[in-house]
Amino acid sequence: MTIEQGTITQTPVIPILVYEDIEAAHDFLVGTFGFTSGGLHRAEDGTVVHGEVRIGDAAIWLHAVTEEHQMASPRGSTQSHGGLEVIVDDVDTHYARSKAAGARIDRAPTDQPYGLREYVAMDQENHRWWFSSPLAG
C-alpha cells in the first residue's frame, strides 16, 4: 500500500536509523551500498541534523543521536540491535560492489531455505544490512 500526495508516492513505513555522523553514514550508504541520496538537512550552524537515502521509492531516514529522544547509535555496541532487509535485483552483483567499496561483510551470498539468496553486511556504525534477491523457481 502506498499513499499518494500530489505527485509524490510515499510508503506508509519509513525506517529510521540513528547515526553519530549522519553525513558519513549517508555517503557510505550511497557510495558502498548504491542507495540514492535523498539529501542532507543542516541546522543554521551547518551541522547535519537529518539525512535520507533511497532505494527505488523507499526512503530510509538517518537521525542524529539525541539524549532528548533517547536515541543512540549502535556504534559502540558489540552487538547489533537489528537491521534492514533490502531486496535488490541481483544480490551477487550487489555483494561484489559492496565488498569492493569496503563494506564489512558478515556472510557472503548464500541460498536461504525461505526462498532468498542473501548476504549480510555491516555499516560503519554497526547497523546490520541484509541484501537479497528471490531464488528462481
Regarding whether 97 and 48 lie in a shared domain, the answer is no
The domain tally of the chain equals 2
Residue 127 domain boundaries: 81-137
Assess whether pLDDT exceeds 80 at residue 91.
yes
Please compute the mean of the pLDDT values over residues 39-56 and round it to a whole number: 95
Please compute the mean of the pLDDT values over residues 61-82 and round it to a whole number: 86
Regarding whether 85 and 61 lie in a shared domain, the answer is no
Please indicate, yes or no, if residue 40 is contained in any of the structural domains.
yes
Task: Look at the alpha carbons of 102, 61, 8, 27 in this order and tell me if their dihedral is positive or negative.
Answer: negative
The more confidently predicted of residues 91 and 57 is 91
pTM assigned to the model: 0.86
**100-113 pLDDT, tens per residue?**
999 999 999 999 99
- 118: cell is 542473501
Please indicate, yes or no, if residue 28 is contained in any of the structural domains.
yes
Q: List CB contacts of 113: < 8 A, sequence separation 6 or more.
A: none
- 61: cell is 531516514
Regarding whether 92 and 42 lie in a shared domain, the answer is no
CA distance 91 to 85: 12
pLDDT at 81: 76
Please indicate, yes or no, if residue 76 is contained in any of the structural domains.
no
Regarding whether 60 and 104 lie in a shared domain, the answer is no
